[in-house]
Structure 1
Amino acid sequence: MISGTGLRSVNHEVDGWIEAGQSQLSNRDSDFASGDSRADTKLPRFIRSGLLAAYRDAAKSVGLEPTLMLRRANLPQDPQLDPDTSVPEDRVRTLLSNSAAAAQRDDFGLLVGLSFRLSMKGPLGLLVKEQPTVRKAIDVLARYMSQQTNTVDIQVEEFDGALVFMPVLLSPRSRTDRQMIDFTIARYVQVFRALLGEAWMPQLVGLSHAAPADPGPYHRQFGRVVFDLPQSSIVLTASDAYRAIPNVDPDMARELTRLVERGRTGAAIELKDRVAELIARLLPGGDCSVDQVAEHLGVDRRTIHRRLAAEGSSFSELLEETRRQMAQLHLTSTDYPLGDVAHRLGFSSLSTFSRWFRGAFGVTARDYRQGVHH
């Protein structure tokens, strides 16, 4: 952080920015901040499930059972779920709201955001940390953000002595939700702390919701906080924004860029495998429809059908093949009762599973387990 005359100059600029109602926002950002009627409120929005690891840590810290709360919000409970799996934003919003009420913590979204670690962004998080400066890291984060979520649009404004980082929530409902606002701002403060040091404090944090009854936790975590602003934001001094990140490896950065770029362009090539993996994960829950898979991938069902057809496959074929593989694995490598096997393959009853198995393999499941193959 800068000090003396320079710091006073930055504070003066920040105060002017606040008093002007964030007039430096572009027209597009102002539309978002005020709930632009042109926003597509029906557009499905998704969040990378890797962020649920931060939720689990925060929930445990206030005595909540993460698995129970995730189940109530109809979100995946498996901690080993592929972190690149997409989950619906509206369910995450419900999760945070329910958890805040259950824990009686108005600042629960803040706790979840502060539990975020840059590694939760996967290869993109690693790439961000290998940039030469914090400003370059922000550029990389903004450039590839859409690969992981369509819930946030990163906007940046610079003026003398400071940089204003604005993670604009695109859903009108999330944009007015205290828990989602706090979760979003706090996790990006954690991104900057991963780059600038755990003790780093922003020049100012602006929040678009009203001040809570007890603003103490916000001031302890962020320092200077202003509530009831048109758009939530994090203000960095210019010296912090352009500070060099130590120990970066340009060769590693190039490799990570190639990896992230492959993820950007290779989705269609890998879709068949990703769908099959999701089918295997969803079957035990009994709700393994193409709509459920589409939700986890952040696309609609028509996209799933179209892209699988382009690969010479279909959802029904993948479902059948995955079930066959799982059935063979369970019957030859485990001693699960047949009723448990039926459940793990998504069948509502043993009799339904038995009929399917005989049709698929030509023998009963019991005979197959005993080595009698058609």
Structure 2
Amino acid sequence: MPFKGVIGRTSSAAWVKGVADMMSAQGLDTRSLFAQAGIDIAVLQDPTARIPADAFSQVWELAVAQSGNSHLGLDRPLAARYGYLDVVGHALASAPCLRAGFELLARQMAVVSDAATFALQKEDTQGFWLILGHIGTARPVPRQRVEYGMLTLLMLCQWLTRQKVEPLAVEWVYPAPANPAPLRVAFGVPMRFDQPASRMLLARQDMLSPIPTYNPSLWDLHGRLVQERLDELGQTHISTRVRSELARVLHQGGEPRRDVIAARLHLSDRTLQRRLLAEASSFAQLLDATRCELARQYLGDAHRSLGEVADLLGFADQSNLFRACRRWFGMPPGQYRAQLPANGPSSHHPG
């Protein structure tokens, strides 16, 4: 049955179609894989369709099992060919430089997937971290899905700049897989595991290099088109924007204060309060809802301790996490984790 509109957290049909084509190129029976996950693959021909994020994760799990390849998708030519970023990709191609393009992506990632978070973080004088995460999914996100997304970003950098952009460092939140060599080959640098975030460091000169296809008029036009798509998805409501920023701040270990979020949205604290009130919402409600979504995600990954989960949610100590979980789930965090489906740490990305 086609998935139209927004049903929970979703990914664009264009992005999912690219992944399906990549899997087909690897010899997988994608029609069967999508059917097993409850998705009619024909819906991917509709560029306005949205695919439930949990169902998409299940496709990845099934594909890894069917192929017997725990590093499915770690192929540079395939990532370069099949990384469809929808209308956002056109906007990036007309951007002045990678930094400007990725700043746009950070604001408008929801067009590609509102289950994904993307942030750009300056690293002193070395360059910029590209940080990927996920939020609001009941199903743990397979690490292969995150690795493919990161590799697609790297290949996008090379295509946009027409230069051999290579990362300075790559880090993952999950433990090292049994054989990390394919990751080393795909990204060209040694991997670091069990890190606070899944991220890739690019050199400052690469991020600031001009994009040859930069066109100010098209940059403005595509920016408006992406904004219209966000409007259609309901992603321009202030409450939605606040939740997106909260997810980014928490993911980066920041302090989820209202004044911090207001500043990130280029609003005064008072204006933010007023606009939230106009949507019958409040900052406290949104922070609680965002923490609840992230808690489902983090507790779904067995290798994270409860103390670490409490830290990631911005709680001062574990007692706050216990009280919150009793309120959200009707049970303490350990019991909630125990009743989740099997979630081996080596195969899933918790953020």
- Structure 1 residue corresponding to 2:16, chosen from 52, 56, 63: 52
Contact 1:174 1:180 in 2 (8 A): no
Residue 101 in structure 1 maps to residue 69 in structure 2: no
- Structure 2 residue corresponding to 1:125, chosen from 84, 89, 92: 89
Contact 1:54 1:116 in 2 (8 A): no
Question: Which whole-Å CA distance do the structure 1 matches of 2:9 and 2:137 have between them?
Answer: 11
SS in 2 for 1:165: strand
Query: Residue by residue, what CA displacement relative to the aligned partner does 1:37-90 show, whole Å, maximum 9, x if unpaired?
Result: xxxxxx921111112222223322332111111111111311762123111111
Question: Which whole-Å CA distance do the structure 1 matches of 2:104 and 2:138 have between them?
Answer: 27
Normalised by the length of structure 1, the TM-score is: 0.55
AA at the equivalent of 1:248: Y
Contact 2:9 2:115 in 1 (8 A): yes
Residue 258 in structure 1 maps to residue 241 in structure 2: no
1:1-374 map, 5 Å: 44-78=8-42, 81-111=45-75, 114-115=78-79, 117=81, 120-158=84-122, 159-171=124-136, 177-197=142-162, 199-224=164-189, 225-265=191-231
Contact 2:72 2:144 in 1 (8 A): yes
Query: Residue by residue, what CA displacement relative to the aligned partner does 1:157-215 show, whole Å, maximum 9, x if unpaired?
Result: 21222211101211466666322322332222233222233743211111222222322
Normalised by the length of structure 2, the TM-score is: 0.58
Contact 1:181 1:207 in 2 (8 A): no
Q: Structure 1, unaligned stretches of length 5 or more?
A: 1-42, 269-374
Q: Could you tell me the percent identity over the aligned residues?
A: 20
Distance verdict in 2 for CA 1:46–1:231, change over 3 Å = same
SS in 1 for 2:84: helix
Query: Number of residue pairs matched?
Result: 226
Query: Residue by residue, what CA displacement relative to the aligned partner does 1:215-260 show, whole Å, maximum 9, x if unpaired?
Result: 2221111011222212100100111111111131112222222322
1:141: Cα distance to partner? 0.9
Question: Which whole-Å CA distance do the structure 2 matches of 1:99 and 1:176 have between them?
Answer: 13
AA at the equivalent of 2:9: R
Question: Which whole-Å CA distance do the structure 1 matches of 2:198 and 2:139 have between them?
Answer: 12
Contact 1:151 1:171 in 2 (8 A): yes
Question: Which whole-Å CA distance do the structure 1 matches of 2:139 and 2:199 have between them?
Answer: 15
Distance verdict in 2 for CA 1:203–1:197, change over 3 Å = farther
AA at the equivalent of 1:62: Q
Question: Which whole-Å CA distance do the structure 1 matches of 2:227 and 2:104 have between them?
Answer: 12
- Partner residue of 2:290? none
The structure number with the bigger radius of gyration is 1
Contact 1:84 1:148 in 2 (8 A): no
RMSD: 2.7
Distance verdict in 2 for CA 1:167–1:175, change over 3 Å = farther
Distance verdict in 2 for CA 1:135–1:175, change over 3 Å = farther
1:147: Cα distance to partner? 3.2
AA at the equivalent of 2:193: F
Question: Which whole-Å CA distance do the structure 2 matches of 1:247 and 1:165 have between them?
Answer: 22
Question: Which whole-Å CA distance do the structure 1 matches of 2:139 and 2:160 have between them?
Answer: 27
More helix per residue: 1
Contact 1:58 1:111 in 2 (8 A): no
